[in-house]
Each structure stands twice: as structure tokens, then as C-alpha cells.
Structure 1
């Protein structure tokens, strides 16, 4: 039994003399949402197009549930559902009739019960008999996912799926992707919207100029630093900083305003600072930690890559 739903090994795409994708390898576990992150033009869509055989690979292998795409093409593709561009439907037909149309073209037999099952899964059961022209963009995106799930694939692949969605639509989309993952479906999703991917993905890879430069779990990346930035609200920030510099000489501290200062410390040191300030007659009105975003981590990782390998990011 395959440990990973998707295995991508040494995926490479060369056009002319230019490497669009350069020796990219990663895997997606069962029931996992895996993100491909990177700026527009980094190679994310090219990777996805090669995985689903919309374009030819120059080199590399794609395996789904242990089946190699080259040796078992039909069997492997039957395990994949994908939306690579905005899903297109017959707007004058209902959502149900559109799904029925695609079901009739599927390699596997798709029953009417399966159509209604996926409609419920993407929360369109109440609108499934309405014409698609009445659907919002978010509803059409969900109908696209329903179409991709009709043949009961193990792997769902989505390229920039939240483009054009409003905040409510993005949140709904994220929630039902989590529901799909909970059902055991693996999801590979690409995006340049870092804040959204932070909330959506279990693990992620960063693609920069066609190369995979970083891969890790979202939790590990967000908790990478031992120290955190903490902001104290006090009766006098100048007095507080003087105290800290005298008592904790190696502490990185900075005055923000008359009544606020920031300090970079380990979690255990926060209570020590609080007790110290109070003992010196300085009132402490508030303490809050500054949350590091995926955008911050992304910039750290990509800037580190530039420094280590030279050159300037384009």
C-alpha cells in the first residue's frame, strides 16, 4: 500500500534552452493539504500541468497511489481530479445537469447518487437544480470541485483556486477543502496568496524560479524561532528599557512609544521581565506577542536563498 498519495520525483521542464522547472521532488500524504507557494511565473502551474499530463515532462516521474503515470496512465489519471484553470460550465443548464454531462463522459461509471453526494460534499445541494448563470463565483468554484470529485479520485489538484473570490467565498472554500481532507482525500493546491495558504495547508513547498527551495510543515515553519517578539505596555517605556538593559544585558529591546516597548525573548523570559518591572515600580498594563506570518517566513526563506547562492531576486 502506498504511503503517499502523490510522489513527484525530479520533475523537469525545459523549453528551448530555459529550464522552467528544475528537478523538483515532493510528496503528498493521504488526507493532507499540500501547498505549492511562489510568485507568479515561479513554475507552479507548469508543475501541475505536468502532473496531470496537460504538457509533456522533459524528465521526472509522477506516481499516484503507487501507480506510475508512464506505465499505468489510465489507472493513474483515474485517481486524479483537477481544476487547472477557471472551471467552465453551461450557464443555461443547472448545476445538476452540468455534473450529469461530465458524469456521462467519465471513464468510471458515475451514478446519480454520486452526483448528489459530491453536491452535498461541496455544500451545493440547495442550489444544485438552479441554473449556473445564477451562481456566484464561489458557487461556480465549488461546482468545479464537485466535477473534479465525481469519479471519486484520491487526489484533488487545484491551481490558484481562490482567484476572484471575496473573503467569505475564500473562507467557505478553505472550510470545505478541510472537510475533503478529513474524508481522506489528498489536496495539492498552488497559490501566491500566502495569508490564505497559511490557514489552508498542512505542509508546503516554495518554488522560486522553477526550483524547490524549501519544504516543511506549516506548524514547524511558524514555530521555527525559539525567540518571539513581545510588546509591553507600561507606565514608562524609557524607565522599563533602562531596567532591562541593566538587569538583562543581552536582551534585544526597543522603545516603540512613551508607554510601549518591544523585546525579543524566549517564552519563559516573559514572566521574568514582568516581575522585574513590577519590582522596580513600573506598572505593566498589557503584554502581547507579535504573531509571525507566513509572509514573513516566506521572505526570510527566499532572501536567505538569494544570499546563499548570490544574485538578486527578480
Structure 2
């Protein structure tokens, strides 16, 4: 069996004369968290709704763990667990009874042991027999994940899953997703919160105005190549003396204050400059390099796309 869990080919959605989603293709392998990034209205939710069969596609193909959505609709949906918008439950029932209700409706056989394992995975053991109306938003989100993965789907789809969560809840949620991915579940998550997606995803796709602009691994974004220039800040005991020493070989040294200067250099030059300073009897207290963030990369790619379309 292929390692690819979700394969989307040339997905398109047209309403009237307007293309909401325009020829989008991507794949997600087993055990990967894949992010759809873009501003509100970019087409992320429309893509997700087409994948889970909530709305019709104008064109394109969706294959989920070997099941074609057109020719084997039930088989494809059986591979999916999803939270699209906020999860809804019966508030007057306990978390356990909500999950048991879903268990009875599932096409898959869900054992009592599987139910117990799922509750433990999302860390709701202490509250599972309380009424859902007493749950915090974070607890509801965890119960939503429990419901989505109870039938052991190969693909988990989440649309803006951290909306309304506090920082502690977001971190817990992120940890749950990583545990699921480590156990082999493929995860598709959409969001406009770039800082959270940077911490959450293995790869990401940038969607803007329905078009897929770029796909990249998070490690490629946050770890700049050694050959690229980056701004490096040195904290020393004598900034003027250090600059005078370095200007014999470098012409892009800038003083920040009496103890700090910045310089644009490649990764391999950092050690060489440090050696020069130490040999010149300069005390080096700190060296810091600015790495690219996902926000930097997002702006770089979207701005480049705008320039092409001008």
C-alpha cells in the first residue's frame, strides 16, 4: 500500500464566473502534519469541504488512502476524521455518552478498549463523565478530536482548530496532534495563525485567492541555507575596537550600541569572525543569528506572486 494518505489532483471550485479554488494539487503522506495557510477567504475551508464531500467539486480528483471519492465515496469518508468549524455535542449528556452515541453510529467496529484508549489519548479521563455543557472550550476541542479519531481514521482534517483557545490550550492541542502523527495519522490543518502553524506543521502550502502558490517543508523555511547571508549580532566588551578590527576585512559592520554590532555574513563566517575577535583580545559574550520565520516566508512568497500578477 502507498505511503500517501491524501492525494488531491487539480481541485477546482467555480461559482458563477468566479473560481473559488483554482487547480489545487498536493499530497500528504502517513504521519505528516500538513498545513493550509492563507488569509480568511483564501479558499482553505472550501478545499476542506470538497475533500470531505460537504460540497461538490467543479473539477479535480480526491483519493484518500487508496479510495477514490467519486467511485468509493463511503470507503473514502470512512478513512477521514474531521473537525470543520467548532465541534458540536449534546450539552446535557456526558462526554462519554456523546462518544458512545457516535460509536453506535460508526460503520467501523469500535471496542470498549479503543474508546478507553482514545479518552486517555486526549487526556479527558478526569472529565469524561461530566456533562459537556460544563466543559471549557479547550476540553470541547479535545472531545472533538476524540470523536474524530475514535474510528481510527488514516486522515484527520481540522479547520481553524485553535480558534478561541488560550495559549495553554493551544499548546496541549498541538501536542495531541504530534502524538497522533507519530502514531501514523496524516493530519491536514488549515489556519491563518502563522506562528502556531510554524510550531505545528511538518510542511505547508500557501493558498491565496484560491490558488496554491507554494509548498515547502517547515525545516527549509526556518533553517536558512549556509550559503545565504543573515544578520548576526555580536555582543562584545569593546564595540568600537571590534568594528575597527573587522573593517579590515568586512565593509558591512553596523554599530548598535557600545556593546553590540551587527554584520551581514554567511553561516560559515560566524566562527571565523569570532576567532578574529578573540585573537584581537576582544571578549565575545553573545552571538545571535536571525532565522527566517514562517511569517517572513509567507510574505516573501505572497509579495512575489503579487509582483508577477501586476
Q: Normalization by structure 2: what TM-score?
A: 0.94
Distance change (3 Å), C-alpha of 1:225 and 1:253: farther
Cα deviation, residue 185, structure 1: 0.8
Cα shift readout 1:254-303 (whole Å, capped 9, x = no counterpart): 22223211122222211211222233343323212223211112111212
Distance change (3 Å), C-alpha of 1:108 and 1:211: same
1:61 and 2:57 correspond: no
Structure 1 SS opposite 2:248: helix
Structure 2 SS opposite 1:56: coil
Structure 2 SS opposite 1:187: strand
Alpha-carbon contact 2:45-2:190 (below 8 Å) kept: yes
Provide the C-alpha distance between the structure 2 equivalents of 1:147 and 1:221, rounded to a whole number of angstroms.
33
Cα shift readout 1:196-255 (whole Å, capped 9, x = no counterpart): 111111111111111111101111222244333211112343443343232134xx4322
Cα shift readout 1:120-177 (whole Å, capped 9, x = no counterpart): 1211122111111221111100100111112211100000000110011000000010
Hey, what does 2:245 align to over in structure 1?
243
Provide the C-alpha distance between the structure 2 equivalents of 1:279 and 1:183, rounded to a whole number of angstroms.
51
Cα shift readout 1:11-47 (whole Å, capped 9, x = no counterpart): 0111111111110000000011111111111111110
Q: Which runs of 4+ in 1 moved over 4 A?
A: none
1:5 and 2:5 correspond: yes
Cα shift readout 1:47-71 (whole Å, capped 9, x = no counterpart): 0000001111010000011111000
Hey, what does 1:228 align to over in structure 2?
230
Listed as ranges, the gaps of 5+ residues in structure 1 are none
Provide the C-alpha distance between the structure 1 equivalents of 2:239 and 2:15, rounded to a whole number of angstroms.
59
* Structure 1, 45-54 or 130-139: larger mean CA deviation: 130-139
1:50 and 2:50 correspond: yes
Hey, what does 1:20 align to over in structure 2?
20
Provide the C-alpha distance between the structure 1 equivalents of 2:63 and 2:108, rounded to a whole number of angstroms.
20
Hey, what does 1:169 align to over in structure 2?
169
Hey, what does 1:106 align to over in structure 2?
106
1:310 and 2:287 correspond: no
Hey, what does 1:119 align to over in structure 2?
119
Distance change (3 Å), C-alpha of 1:254 and 1:302: farther
Provide the C-alpha distance between the structure 2 equivalents of 1:230 and 1:239, rounded to a whole number of angstroms.
18
* Structure 1, 237-246 or 264-273: larger mean CA deviation: 237-246
Distance change (3 Å), C-alpha of 1:224 and 1:291: closer
* Structure 1, 196-205 or 285-294: larger mean CA deviation: 285-294
Provide the C-alpha distance between the structure 2 equivalents of 1:129 and 1:218, rounded to a whole number of angstroms.
39
Cα deviation, residue 115, structure 1: 2.0
Hey, what does 1:270 align to over in structure 2?
270
Structure 1 SS opposite 2:110: coil
Provide the C-alpha distance between the structure 1 equivalents of 2:303 and 2:103, rounded to a whole number of angstroms.
47
Provide the C-alpha distance between the structure 2 equivalents of 1:224 and 1:4, rounded to a whole number of angstroms.
28
CA RMSD of aligned residues (A): 1.5
Cα deviation, residue 96, structure 1: 0.3
Hey, what does 1:288 align to over in structure 2?
288
- Write out aligned runs for 1:132-171 (5 A): 132-171=132-171
